[in-house]
Structure 1
Amino acid sequence: MAKIWGRLGMEGICIGAALYTFARMKPVLSLFVLSLSWGQEILLRRVQVGQKITEEPAKSPSNASVRLVFVGQVLDSTTKEPLSGAYVRVPGSVIGAVTDEKGFFRIPTTLRSPIEVEVSFVGYTTRRLTLNPLPEGSPTAPILLAPEDIVGQEVVISASRVEEKLLRSPVQVMQLSGVAIRSSPAVVSAQTLSFLPGVDVIYSSFTFPVVNTRGFNFTQNPRFINRVDGVEMQSTALNVPVLTFTAPPDLDVANVEVIAGPASALYGPNAFNGAMLTTLKDPFQYPGLSAQVRIGVNHLANYQRDPAPLYDVQARYAHTWRNRLGIKLAVHGLLGEDWRATDTTDRGVYAGAVPPYTTAGSWNPGYLPINGYGYDARALIQGVPFADGRPMPAFYLSRTGWIEPDLVSTRTQIGKVTGGVFYRFTDQLQGQLTFHLASGRTVYQDNTRYALQDFVLMAYKAELTHARGFFRVYAIREDGGRSMSLWVLGANLLNTVKPHTAWFTHYLLAYGGYLDMSMSAADKAAFAAHYGFAVPQMGDHAAARRLADSDTRFLATLPTAAPVAGCS
């Protein structure tokens, strides 16, 4: 199935195509999207006429070996403390840098004339100034930024696809910086969004936070989109948000913007409940090596299990050559134990049964626990007589299923790798090839319990970015691996071990007293020797269930039992 759509407006043109394919035995989704945008000037500022940033031939051989850079240190004008994470860029181009922990920045260049740059930082007044190219190691004068008391001056792009002040945004937009995300104690970065007003995060498991806005608290929330560097990271194969797999490593996140309201005009009908847009770090602006290790303990007050350790390891490396070619690679590993779903409360409905079988509880033959799997193979038994001719009381009968620890492990293992190659063709044109690969295992709760086993999500993107627009192509592929619904798994396992019809038949033959009345004393002795318990008596639910759950093929060897059990 394929869908093609287009839209023409003030901000430009968007063209897309989707192609769905399914591999044999495993759900696989491939999504291809082509985007083209050309219209309003995104940077809202112009480059000086004739200005170049990175290309200028050396004027003489004596100067050819001198490496020049635009350098400086950004400080708070009041406290004189360095501002780490301030953005220094050349207006109207793709050239820029981010200050390090001491407030220093460095932009390599071959230009020998001054150039205008813009320095910005959240909570401070943006400043423009002229810098002169200097040889490596030259002392520089500090650049002072004044604190800004007006809230809402941060620059966002999610509300209208062009840069604008937060207060001027037509819809409610919240923004989290990469520093805030990395310093958050949350296990998954999406959990940090719960600190924002108008944003609710509910948890299907500790690795499955579901972001909701506008009061829509739903475990799936399909009308909320998640875009990472322009790639819509949705799991169509599972139809649930898989932020744990789609979210990039925290160390590679520059900022996250959340629209807590309808965004369908810009991002399509799936953005009716809002949108989350994550911007990743560019290797030219964020070079170097960084690493982060977090260790914790969960299940401290859980009576169901002992405390379990939690490990979160991340690393990122980025490098550039001559401010033209850049690469980056980020890895993330998460290892822990999720909570166990062990609620044994009976959720069965007993309409049509007669007392005492109308009362819920584990003693009831129709027992249907909340976190039981396979018990849904259930039927209302009525109008069936006992072996002596008396009618059986109407009751519900369910198969003996499993609880969660019997079927799957709650151990969570998730690994992610993101990276890319970047190249600046000119000062205003940059190309990139990036990828995102995530795989692992975890469990989560929806209308029933699900287990993701060997789940794989891959995303690839090729993009050309210009100061006035971009051209983007990306593809997403999913492989469900051995993922399963525990409800379906439990029922299918029971039916494989013994078909449902055979199980219910053997239960009623034992409960109704048909086996007991038809078997000879010799066969009863052989039965007891083989099974380790006596032939079930009429009206004994526990004994009947015990026999039905057993391997009843031995009944075919007993002359007086085989005809009754249907084994003759």
Structure 2
Amino acid sequence: MRVYLLFLSLFFCSLTFAQNTITGFVTDSNNQPIPGANIKVVGDSSGTVADFDGSFKLQSSKKLPFVIEVTSVGFGSKKVTISSANQKVSVQLLDEENKLDEIVVSASRTPERVIESPVTIERMGIADIKKSASATFYEGLENLKEVQMNTSSLTFKSINTRGFATVANTRFMQLVDGMDNSSPLLNFVLGNMIGVSEIDVQSVELLPGASSALYGANAFNGILFMNSKSPFTSQGITAYAKYGQTVQNAAGSNDYVDYGIRIAHAFSPKFAAKANFTYMRGTDWYATNYKDKTVVGRDRSNPNYDGINVYGDEVSTNLKGVGQSLAALGLIPVGAINLLPDYNVSRTGYDETSLTDNKASNTKIDFSLHYKPFENDFEIIWQSKFGYGNAVYQGANRYYLNDFFMQQHKLELKGKNFFVRGYTTNEDGGKSYDMLFTGINVNRVWKDDKTWFGQYAGQYVTSTLGGATPEQAHIAARSVADTGRLIPGTAAFKSAFNSVISEASVLSGSKLVDNSKIYHTDVNYNFKDLIDFAEIQVGGSYREYELNSHGRIYTDANGPIHYNDYGAYTQLTKKLLDDRLKFTGSVRYDKSKNFDGNISPRLSLVYSGGENKKHNFRASYQTGFRNPSTQDQYIGFNVGNAVLLGSAPDNLTRYSETLPVSTAVGQAFAGSANVIVTGLNAYNNSYTASSVAALSASGNPAVLKKTNVNYVKPEQVKAFELGYRSFLNGVSVDLNGYYNIYNDFIGNLNVVAPLYGTAQDAPNPLAGPTNAGTQSIHALQNGNFRAYQLYTNTDVEIKSMGFGVGLSKKVYKDFEVGVNYNYAEFKFDQAKDPSFEAGFNTPKHRVKASFGNEKLFDNFGFNVSGRWNSEYLWQSTMVDGMIDAATVIDAQINYNILKLKSTIKLGASNIGGKEYTQVLGAGLIGQQFFASWTINP
């Protein structure tokens, strides 16, 4: 509170300084304004950005005379001497389409040209955002080389690079103004739900490879930096409004609205503030994949159907076992048991479209206060960010994030050569719920499972005795069991639905509860002004997790789970051979509470060849690592057909549940109607799921294989990369190739734990009923087991490799063509670990291209972008299958109205209209049309 009062008092103070006010215009060679051009006082922190019409106003207390430098992407820079106060200048910049000269910071934590970066880096600036044909700048990132987008819903898109893609991408980090905006509970980024407004974006930088040496454990497969504009250099009121429609076969045509405003002002050279507000709403892509999750070709006519986007049909039981229970109670003759088939039937489920309103929305609010107490680059920043909205997240199930809320608060001190920042991230699950358990428990509100299956079995027997075929008997049995079923849209259904989503217990509800937090601090210092020999940096970080799902997702029913990690790094950069050879060496040490420390080194060389040093060759090697996430360690989440179980030792004993044993078939072995199981059963007394499936298919217990699984530990990667960048005859060239070797790769293992007996390899069924191995076989064959999905590491080495080619050129006047290609594959000997899923989830071939002209004629521009990917295998905790090849074309036209300081844009995504998917189980992506109006200061 004191910090807020301090800044508020500064906000209303009137500070006066001796000022020089310089005004002017920035234009190109055609005398057209260059909006967004940067104007900076050389040797001073003063600076500003040109307005929409190219005009600027710069205030500086620096003593005359001094020099200003004017720069803009795609143009050569120019310096102008300022010799008098209130001087007016006119600056004309010449075209210089060489994006390899852009300045980036993320690759080495220090400013350097893209062409000198020791690793592959992609960048999107203000001009690129304006050209993007996508509905949002975040979606436009998909057109960058190396980027693969995974769309779970309209408002939840995750970015991935270099393979092993998931919606919950814990191997990829995203920083917004230095803050990791991953979910504290789940450890992955929720797209741009608490990101940055597109009118506040200064630049986006992407490192597609392992970056652990500088950024720690989570930057395992890549890292994205989104940097916002400073209120000192980008002032005024900016606003935008978009209206359009989304079009999908399943959902039809629906309105799409997106608008925002940015207000920024520098009250003096020492104090500035800004605020942003954005709001977006639309209709989500309907998820209507009704294929069976587990059996190819099985459809709703099958008695044991389990649809991908159908929930409640996961509840399944053996029909003959039901008959045995009914006979034991005297409800059917004992002889009628033989009329029942010896296979499972499932309850009738509800389609996803009946369990969500399919509304997507996102509200973002942020503000920051900036104070420069001295006449140098030292700055104090307080920043607060708030994100709120609805989205669908897909993990082991589909989850509706309803009124989900997340906030971040940061205090940062930074100067020319250092920064110190601390921030906290808090989240609230709101009214979020699990769709699978919504379907299960809406069914149970109406009729409990025992009654439903009893009615099904009884009618099946009756129909069979009446001469019905098995198919006819199943239809009649389901009709009788479903009599009175709650129908979506009715008052009875709505009442049951609202009751279920408001209750957290999976026994009767589906609500997701989350009040988790992260506390994080970073520090970095660059000794370049103190040490001449080389540029040396040191830094470190500390993070504290507070997991608090109230026992719903994690084993934290008795209170929050706390754990921490920390790390420290140093880096040395040295230029040799007349500055042609640049050496960078860095090393980082990281330690997490439950694991031994890890050391991550990185070595790189960049050589600039040719007379003008325009041929730049780079090579790098680094080891990266990833600590197991909070899910990998502490989850204890019942997802219906299995329990997701983390392997932290205290987690296994903390997870406990009481399960019923079918007394008709298990009493002689179990001795009780209920069994208490813990996480230790899953890890120490279970069979691999693949061997249990083999038992079911063959009936031969000799195929059973006892689970031999270790507790999860950090995974490592050895990453090798080669690259070449140049600007040849007007063509920007960027080539790269990589080869990664993964050890102790973290993944999931599906196992089945019998509720009684002892799991053992190839148990002998003839050993007798008191033998522990025989008992475990009996448990499996009679449905007395619990399925688990464990987090562990594979002992099999995984390798991935790929290369990329990026080319761009102005082909005629201002017409620009860009094309890039990426190849990616991985190698994993599945036979050595048949139950392990690596989940590469990446197309082998991807091609992207763009064609546009921002100066087609006065104030008018256009851009067309297209992308294609080959088909690929998708593996996830929810469903496995193939994702088809897809071709997508986006286009936009824009017109600048200088008198109104406005840009009008008309755009369309997927103009070909063929729907495609990026996440198996999510909705097919249709078309999106929009018109936008942006007003610049």
For 1:56 and 1:244, locate their aligned partners in 2 and report how far apart those are by CA, in whole Å: 39
Choose from 124, 132, 148 the match for 2:75. 124
Shift of 1:328: 0.9
Unaligned 5+ runs, structure 2 = 1-14, 325-331, 486-937
Q: What residue identity is the alignment partner of 1:335?
A: R
- Partner secondary structure for residue 364 of structure 2: strand
What does the per-residue CA deviation read over 1:466-502, in whole Å, with 9 as the maximum and x for residues that have no partner? 1221221111111111222211322233334333223
The residue aligned with 2:218 is 270
Pick aligned residue for 2:446 from 490, 497, 500: 497
Q: Does 1:254 align with 2:192?
A: no
Q: Is 2:20 aligned against 1:68?
A: yes
Give the distance between the partners of 1:132 and 1:447, measured in 2 at CA.
Answer: 66
Judge conservation of contact 1:372–1:401 (CA < 8 Å) in 2.
yes
1:284-303 equivalences in 2 (<5 Å): 284-299=232-247, 302-303=248-249
Partner of 2:411: 462
Q: Which residue of 2 aligns with 1:96?
A: 47
* Normalised TM-score (structure 1): 0.74
- Greater Cα shift, 215-224 or 406-415: 215-224
State the Cα distance separating 1:112 from its structure 2 match: 5.2
Q: Is the 8 A contact 1:204 1:446 kept in 2?
A: no
Counting only pairs closer than 5 Å after superposition, residues 315-326 of structure 1 correspond to structure 2 as 315-326=261-272
After superposition, residues 54-453 of structure 1 pair within 5 angstroms as 68-76=20-28, 78-111=29-62, 113-135=64-86, 140-148=88-96, 150-299=98-247, 302-349=248-295, 360-382=298-320, 384=323, 387=333, 389=336, 390-428=338-376, 429-453=378-402
Counterpart Cα distance in 2 of 1:404 and 1:424: 53
Match of 1:36 in 2: none
Cα distance in 1, alignment partners of residues 137 and 96 from structure 2: 28
Deviations along 1:146-202, one digit per CA (max 9) or x if unpaired, are 333544110000100100011000011111112422453423432111111121222
Whole-Å separation in 2 of the counterparts to 1:281 and 1:257:
14
Aligned residues: 457
Cα distance in 2 between the residues matched to 1:210 and 1:474? 23
Q: C-alpha separation between the residues in 2 aligned to 1:182 and 1:143?
A: 23
Deviates further, 179-188 or 462-471: 179-188
Shift in alpha-carbon separation, 1:133–1:506, aligned structure 2, 3 A:
farther
Distance in 1 (CA, whole Å) between partners of 2:98 and 2:272 is 37
Name the amino acid aligned to 1:363.
Answer: S
1:548 alignment partner in structure 2: 481
Shift of 1:283: 0.8
Code of the residue aligned with 1:460 in structure 2: it is H
Pick closer, same or farther for the CA change 1:417–1:230 going to 2, 3 Å.
Answer: same
Q: Distance in 2 between matches of 1:474 and 1:501?
A: 51
- Tell me the alpha carbon deviations over residues 361-417 of structure 1, each in whole angstroms, 9 at most, x when there is no partner: 322221222211010001232364774534322232101111112211111121111
Comparing 154-163 and 217-226, the one that deviates more: 217-226
- CA distance 1:540–1:493, shift in 2 (3 Å): same
Percent identity of equivalent pairs: 30
| 2:460 is the alignment partner of 1:511 | yes
Q: CA shift at 1:110, angstroms? A: 4.3
Larger Rg: 1
2:96 aligns to what SS in structure 1? Answer: coil
Aligned partners of 2:460, 2:92: CA distance in 1, in Å?
87
Partner-residue secondary structure (3-state), 1:266: helix
The letter for the 2-side match of 1:191 is: E
Distance 1:266 1:471 in 2: 15
Matches of 2:205 and 2:471 in 1, distance apart?
68
- Stretch deviating more after TM superposition (412-421 or 201-210): 201-210
**Alpha carbons of structure 1 residues 256 and 91: separation in structure 2 relative to 1, 3 Å:** same
Decide which of 401, 407, 432 is 1:483's aligned counterpart. 432
Tell me what 1:22 maps to. Answer: none
Q: 3-state DSSP class of the match of 2:280?
A: strand
Q: State the distance in 2 between where 1:133 and 1:100 align.
A: 23
Task: Classify 1:204/1:551 alpha carbon distance in 2 versus 1 (closer, same or farther; 3 Å).
Answer: closer
* 2-structure distance, mates of 1:506, 1:446: 34
Distance 2:140 2:151 in 1: 13
CA distance in 1, matches of 2:132, 2:17: 47
Structure 2 CA distance for aligned equivalents of residues 306 and 538 of structure 1: 35
Question: Aligned to 2:454, what secondary structure does the other structure show?
Answer: helix
Q: Secondary structure at the match of 2:402?
A: strand
2-side partners of 1:330 and 1:506: how far apart? 59
Tell me if the contact between 1:177 and 1:255 (Cα under 8 Å) persists in the aligned partners: yes
Secondary structure of the 2:192 match is helix
Asked whether the equivalents of residues 348 and 367 of structure 1 are also in contact (C-alpha less than 8 Å), the reply is no
User: Following the alignment from structure 1 to structure 2, what is the Cα–Cα distance between the partners of residues 252 and 132?
Assistant: 33
Report the Cα distance in structure 2 between the residues aligned to 1:344 and 1:147, rounded to whole angstroms. Answer: 54
Q: 1:256 aligns to what SS in structure 2?
A: strand
Q: Could you report, residue by residue, the CA deviation over 1:280-303 in whole angstroms, capped at 9, with x for unpaired residues?
A: 01111110111111111111xx33
Whose strand fraction is larger, Structure 1's or Structure 2's? Answer: 2
Residues 338, 100 of structure 1: alpha-carbon distance in 2 compared, 3 angstrom cutoff = same
2:883 alignment counterpart: none
Contact 1:112 1:133 in 2 (8 A): no
Q: Secondary structure at the match of 2:209?
A: coil
The answer as to whether partners of 2:319 and 2:457 remain within 8 angstroms in 1 is: no
Equivalent pair of 1:418/1:434 in contact (CA under 8 Å): yes
For residues 231 and 443 of structure 2, what CA distance do their matches in structure 1 show?
A: 54
SS in 1 for 2:100: coil
Asked if structure 1 preserves the Cα contact closer than 8 Å seen for 2:46 and 2:59, the reply is no
- The 2-side partners of 1:130 and 1:142 are apart by 12
Q: Match for 1:381: what amino acid?
A: L
How does the TM-score come out when normalised to structure 2?
0.46
Structure 1's unaligned 5+ residue stretches are 1-54, 59-66, 351-358, 518-536, 553-568
State the partner residue of 2:423.
474
Q: Which amino acid aligns with 2:403?
A: D
CA distance in 2, matches of 1:56, 1:506: 85
